[in-house]
Amino acid sequence: MRIKMYMQITSFLLVMQPIHLAIGLVEGIATAGVVSFIWKARPEILDRTMHDQPFSQVPVRNIIAGLLAASVLIGGVLSWYSSEHPDGLEWSIRKVTGNTEIVSPSEGVHDKLARIQQKTSYLPDYTFKENDAEVPSNQETFGTYTGTTLSGLIGGLLVLACGVLIGLVLKKRNQPVCSRQN
């Protein structure tokens, strides 16, 4: 039994590693695009950051507006295409086990948490629930993309909000002591 589990874990890691390297490469390119956008829009932000200088007087409204527009475009429209395909983890699990889902115990902590998730999840698998059942993803209606769009928008906006909050905290922390006392 242990040998079989070891072989499955090894197979899973060998299948998962290349796909996650590709995903990491794409994410690195996206990060470079964001940094490039900020460098072109407000080079003083990165310049001051690299030299440990405060940038509390640098306006970032245009950068936030640009990132907001990108979040809406990516989360609201491009998510239609990416969410139809399994992610790297699901793809790797399917290659090893033949299923995208791992069979879980029907009792115990896992089962209790799964039931809580079913009851509290608003957009399971990027679709709306109808009478405690997921709307089929192959349904050919206007509503097919609504759940995906809403999921993408909420996710993108939450990530942007977290980034802005972290930026504000760091900006406040890097202000000179004399400007904080005014």
Q: Angle at Cα 78 formed by Cα 158 and Cα 161, nearest 5°?
A: 15
Kindly give the residue spans of alpha helices, DSSP state H, lying in 42-142.
43-50, 61-73, 79-82, 88-97, 109-120
Q: pLDDT tens digits for 70-116?
A: 888 888 888 777 656 667 777 777 877 887 777 777 788 888 888 89
pTM flag (> 0.75): no
DSSP 76: I
**DSSP H or E run through 129:** strand 129-130
pLDDT tens track, the chain, 182 positions: 678 777 878 887 887 788 888 888 999 998 899 889 888 887 887 887 777 776 666 677 877 888 889 888 888 888 777 656 667 777 777 877 887 777 777 788 888 888 898 888 878 777 777 654 554 555 545 556 788 888 888 988 898 899 889 888 877 776 665 555 55
**Cα(56)–Cα(169) distance, rounded to whole angstroms?**
11
